[in-house]
A and B are shown apart, each in its own frame.
Chain A
Amino acid sequence: MTTARNSTKYSRSYKDEDDAEYNRGSQHLKVQSRNLHGHQRNGSTYSRSISLLDIYCAESPSRATGDSPSANVGKLDDDEIDSNLAQSLDELQILSSNESVGASPVAAYDRSNSTLIGGNSYSERPSSIMYVKPTTASVEREVLNSNVDRYGFKKVSTLSKITAPQYDRWFKEYSDYSLRRKKKWEILMKSHGLGLKLGHPQTPASSVKSVEDIPTRFPPRSDKVKKMVRRGIPAEWRGNAWFFYAGGYERLSKHEGLYDQVVRDTANIKNKDTEVIERDLFRTFPDNIYFNASLSAGGGGSPSSSSSNNIPGATSSNEETLLIKCLRRLLVAFAHYQPQIGYCQSLNFLAGLLLLFMSEERAFWMLVILTERIIPKVHAANLEGVHTDQGVLMLCVKEYIPHLWGILGTTFEGEKLSEDKMLSRLPPLTLVTSSWFMSVFVGVFPIETTLRVWDILWYEGSKTIFRISLTIFQLCVDSPEFQSRRSHGTDESEQIELFQLMQNFPKNLLDPNLVVDHCFKKIGGYGFGSLSQDEIDRCRSFVSKQREKLNSNNRRKDLTEMTPEERNSLVISHVDDGNIHDVYGFHRPIMSGMLWNKSISNKVKKKFQAKKKD
């Protein structure tokens, strides 16, 4: 089922940007107009099959593509392109010369394509609608007086114990923080020659009201920018910034019009996937006024729109909101476009959150990027990627939080899992962590914390999910709840208690800075930033290989159940069954600060314990 368009996609080798070594030379700077027709549906499917191993070797969002100069083309409305084109090109020139990239891509720019990019016939969610309330002092007051937050979510959720006063107290402080961060971003943008008010020089930047005031291109990757991203992207810039850093523009320009086509192809489709999608639409964000029309009647804000100020789609309380319609189209199109995934529950959360921040078409491509490159096969029919990533996460826990591993590396029946067996028998807790990966923390954290993680994810890639997962674990282990609630009863009740604690604990992590700072700070934090993408990729390859062996063994086992003769013959060939019991060795950079010391002290401790037992 391999189509031509994938043959080379994963063969590029990217560098880990952790060391800020971002290789700009490999950028795709051409607007690839010939690809307009390059993606023909092959037979009945757009699908392909790629081994997880191939993908793991190549994962890296946008490293090569993050800022294609076709960047702000997609952003402009048709009628604005003419007037803004010249200015955009000027800026591209500046960007290009700064980064010693040739000017040829600009020459390759094809205006007839640009109008196609801007075309919106497939989408009822005009890109001019801004659902997210901008980072301004007046919005702060507005949110404090409302029962919904900046994004249209109810401030008080049935899922967490956070109360409205708690929320407001936090928001007041965090809102000041956000305003400060936004100022820093504005300075950063200026220092890169990225103007903030393209068509509206008279508008002060602090009173952004419409999408035209939001930057479409962002500074190239650097240590400075990485730090800025980790401290949070201004809420209303998020959609554009995620799209930019994740390599969205490259996808979009490669596949112009494709989303439109898939939507047309799937307009009246009815199958198993659409059935499940239909049931999940209203179970995605029932606590958000843009997804649940019955809420908006009870107050809350309306999104800013460049043309008008009415609530898009949410006119009458019994109607489907505009975003519900978008969500349906997007999920159905995605299921059709990626038949090896189809529809998997949790994609609704991912697509839904993307839709609050960007247009339908862009959200579609972001979902493709996420499921193809960042967390491959996590949503596949057999959830192979979930199993692999849980194996990787468990190896990370064992390496980084050995104390916790001692507790969670136990089955419900009380059997201790040794390292060589943990991959074939994932601990019960991985049922909780699976959803962290599948939903990428949507619904796991309070929304702002999730969004801050997403800021980092789209910039830094999949290692973010592992780092944040470890951070949750460590925060939980350090919490008084963990210390006091830890049962000393049977192993099973201990496991059950741990399960429940880990499930509920992140729901109350309202302050994103607590999570992010603990994750990355070496002093006063856990320093999980030292877990590199390279390590994750190697570990994923390792786990994936182990699982392949395991699966082939299981297949053989099926055979053994058939006839006794076969069985006996296989017994002989099973003698080296031990070969699945490989052990993964973590690579430890010598200078990784506190963690390094911690690791040594842990190893010393372990050695002492081992000696004692002897």
Chain B
Amino acid sequence: MSSRKKTLLKVIILGDSGVGKTSLMQQFVNNKFSQQYKATIGADFLTKEIQIDNNKSVTLQIWDTAGQERFQSLGVAFYRGADCCVLCFDVTNEKSLNNLTSWKDEFLVQSNVSNPQDFPFIIIGNKIDVDDSKKIPSLQKKLHNITHNQLGGLNYPVFETSAKDSVNVEAAFEVVAKMALQQEELNAANGGDVNDDYNDAINIHLGSESSSCC
């Protein structure tokens, strides 16, 4: 119903605590890195306007989230209407890699997107500036294993980045923007927010009514 005329693309960054979500966002939006980011409580967002595909200008609204699991219960409102989701891990932290799948699932459950099968996700492995000896052993194999077996065999783009040294960050977000734009256009073609029921008490009512008539 609501045909929001936006070139505004909403991007959600998810991943375990400390993988560098805030740093990635700051590096991309403000071109700076600081050792002094504080742990993110709740959520924060920044916007950046970029040009993609023949000077088409879009505004990325990038949401940075708290990585600790329990914060999931707070931050569901802003998942809705997301156009792309960035799943982050830390190349020195195997657990953060293994958790990618649950972050994806969590997002799909909470965001209630209409096309979970081909919703655009992108994977970012951050901190490649760190010494090789500290990196996850046979990372490529493990990553391959996860993307193919656990993330549904879908070929999500993978980027290895360093928010610290600004390696690949720009490139990754350019792909994010393109994917998000596609998703946005798809949504627009489907008539906007199709799947708009809510996981709460109000819909119990609606849900029950509709079920009683069939």
Residues of A within 8 A of B (CB): 158-159, 275-276, 279-280, 283-287, 292, 344-346, 348-349, 381-383, 386-387, 411-414, 421, 424-428, 430-432, 434-435, 438-439, 443, 490, 492-493, 496, 499-500, 503, 550, 553-554, 556-557, 560, 564, 567-568, 570-571, 574, 577, 580
Contact = CB atoms under 8 A, between A and B. Distances in A.
A567 B202 contact: no
Interface of B is mostly: loop
13 contacts: A276-B17, A284-B39, A349-B41, A381-B70, A413-B193, A421-B202, A431-B77, A432-B42, A490-B2, A490-B4, A560-B204, A577-B201, A577-B205
A560 B202 contact: no
Interface residues of B, number: 44
B200 interface: yes
A412 B80 contact: yes
Nearest to A549: B201
Contacts of A424: 200-202
B201 A158 contact: no
Most buried by A among B2, B18, B198, B204: B204
Nearest to A571: B208
Most buried by A among B70, B73, B196: B70
Interface stretch (B30-38, B129-137, B161-169): B30-38
Contact of A283 (B38, B68, B75, B211): B38
Contacts of B106: none
A281 to B, nearest CB: 10
A158 B23 CA distance: 13
Contacts of B34: 158
B68 A425 contact: no
A466 B205 CA distance: 33
Most buried by B among A345, A503, A560, A574: A345
Interface string B135-166: 00000000000000000000000000000000
Contacts of A425: 198, 200, 202
A383 B71 contact: yes
A382 B74 CA distance: 9
B44 A503 contact: yes
A346 B36 contact: no
A169 to B, nearest CB: 24
B71 to A, nearest CB: 7
Contacts of B74: 383, 386-387, 430-431, 434
B211 A564 contact: yes
A412 B78 contact: yes
Contacts of B43: 431
B4 A428 contact: no
Contact of B61 (A345, A496, A554): A496
Contacts of B8: 493
Given A496-B61, A574-B205, A345 B44 contact: no
